[in-house]
Amino acid sequence: MSLKDKLVSSHIVFQDSLDPDSALYDLRGSAIKTFEEEGFPSKKDEAWKYTSLNSILKENYSLFPTKKETSLDFKDVERYFINDIDTYNIVFVDGVFNAHLSSTTHDGIDVCTLNSALTKPKYKQVIDVYFNKIAKEESLTSLNTAYAKEGAYIYIPKGKVADKPIQIIHFATGSEAATLLQPRNLIVAEENSEVQIIERHQSLSDTAVLTNTVTEIYAGKRAMIDYYKVQNDKLKASLVDTTEIEQHRESVVSVHTFSLGGNITRNNLNYYQKGEYMDSILKGITLIEGKQHVDHNTLVHHIEPNCESHQDYKGIFAESSTGVFNGKVVVEKEAQKTNAYQSNNNILIDDKATINSKPQLEIFADDVRCSHGCTIGQLDESALFYLQSRGIAQKEARALLMYAFANTVLSSVKIPQLKQRITKLIAKKIGVSIGFDI
């Protein structure tokens, strides 16, 4: 039986395990129908032209999170946390919330599990207004909705500032079988609120894992959200990460994606600007090797006037790794005075590495400033010579240049400990031990 058939036929069993009176019952039912009609995306779909999921759909995945909580010792997984700062943590192990590793709160803000938000009456109002409102009815998102049960729920009410960053970590133990995980996150930051979030998906074994995650982010007026995605998973772990963001007047939302590991990684990052004077920031560093594949598919939809968007994606591809950047900017007729910037710069280290870069601008307004630039090249030989002439060995010199290349993305990370961690991960990945820290 194909994975699609298995997912469709297992859905009834899944629904039966949940409360039939829940408002989500019908929603899940119609979502699985959408998935059944559309199936998994294939290379025939324009948006999936350069990314094929075929190789990972063949695995015999277990579909449901196991009921019992898997125990994990903190010391065994500590290295996957940003642990040198105080944070709230929402941790899941094989799709099940792990209270032992988590640190949640309801003190002024809500940092807890989506499952409790979906089932407890006091959250009903927020869920009714925001849940599944921005997510699109397309195949993988619908599949996620059909099985939506667990994930992070973060609610920052009007005027509140989250007093520390929030880490969302999904572990896959892979102890028994190949695992399909479908976390669903909902983040609502109301008017004048602020929050910083770090998200990570981490496999703990060499068993195949496929994560199909959907995150909806709602930024109210003047809300400030900084979201960081750390993608440094094992070689048998694949990820489809869909993030849908709705922004309102004068809000600023940044998403930094650090793609340094995994098998196949597909990022769908979509912004919808519903208001004036706001800024959307999309940044990413991709640094991969072997046969790894990372695809960034972005959309910024400028709907109203006087807004900005800034995209800066840097990619370094070694060996026979492949990258995709598909960045679309739509400026509606009403969205005058839009400033939209997009840049995608890539370095191909080896002859067999590939990058497919496709910027798309659809501009219907006449008084806008939009720019996009895409470069593909090698490390600058004269820069390399400059560093070597100062006594820096070639390997370290190359590392330093790669670091400098990626720096425009790193420099805007607002959590110093996270920045340091990413810097270390990059240094390790390049295979040098010199300190870049300023």
How far CA 229 is from CA of 76, 152, 226, 281, 431, in Å, comes to 21, 14, 10, 14, 22
CB 413 to another protein: min, Å: 12
> Which span (35-43, 187-195, 295-303, 379-387) binds another protein, by CB under 8 A?
379-387
When the beta carbons of 237 and 397 are compared against another protein, the nearer one is 397
When the beta carbons of 291 and 310 are compared against another protein, the nearer one is 310
359 HSE (CA, 13 A, CB side) = 17
Establish if 430 lies at the interface with another protein (CB under 8 A): no
User: Are 344 and 374 spatial neighbours (Cβ–Cβ below 8 Å)?
Assistant: yes
User: Residue 358 in 3-state DSSP?
Assistant: strand
Establish if 436 lies at the interface with another protein (CB under 8 A): yes
CB 84 to another protein: min, Å: 21
CB 430 to another protein: min, Å: 14
User: Residue 184 in 3-state DSSP?
Assistant: strand
Q: One symbol per residue from 381 to 410: x for binding another protein (CB under 8 A), - otherwise; what is it?
A: xxx-xxxxxxxxxx-xx--xx-xx--xx-x
CB 387 to another protein: min, Å: 8
Count residues binding another protein (CB under 8 A). Answer: 29
Rounded Cα distance, 402 and 390, in Å: 17
Among residues 375, 312, 385, 311, the alpha carbon closest in space to that of 348 is found at 375
When the beta carbons of 272 and 403 are compared against another protein, the nearer one is 403
- Angle (CA) 115-118-124 rounded to 5° is 150
> Which span (27-35, 95-103, 178-186, 377-385) binds another protein, by CB under 8 A?
377-385
CB 388 to another protein: min, Å: 4
Among residues 280, 282, 270, the alpha carbon closest in space to that of 250 is found at 280
What is the DSSP code string of 191-260?
A: TT-EEEEEEEEEE-SSS-EEEEEEEEEEE-TT-EEEEEEEE---TTEEEEEEEEEEEETT-EEEEEEEE-
Binding-site member from 360, 380, 416, 428 for another protein (CB under 8 A)? 380
Establish if 433 lies at the interface with another protein (CB under 8 A): no
Residue 100 CB contacts under 8 Å (≥ 6 apart), including other chains: 69, 71, 72, 74
> Which span (117-125, 158-166, 245-253, 429-437) binds another protein, by CB under 8 A?
429-437
DSSP helix, strand, coil percent of the chain (3-state; round to 5): 25, 40, 40
Rounded Cα distance, 135 and 242, in Å: 9
CB 402 to another protein: min, Å: 11
Establish if 316 lies at the interface with another protein (CB under 8 A): no
When the beta carbons of 286 and 322 are compared against another protein, the nearer one is 286
Among residues 146, 150, 169, the alpha carbon closest in space to that of 67 is found at 150
When the beta carbons of 219 and 410 are compared against another protein, the nearer one is 410
Burial class (CB in 10 A: 0-12, 13-18, 19+), 330: middle
CB 310 to another protein: min, Å: 17
Establish if 438 lies at the interface with another protein (CB under 8 A): yes
When the beta carbons of 70 and 388 are compared against another protein, the nearer one is 388
Q: Tokens 């009921």 map to which residue? A: 67
CB 312 to another protein: min, Å: 12
CB 428 to another protein: min, Å: 17
Binding site for another protein (CB under 8 A): 380-383, 385-394, 396-397, 400-401, 403-404, 407-408, 410-411, 434-438
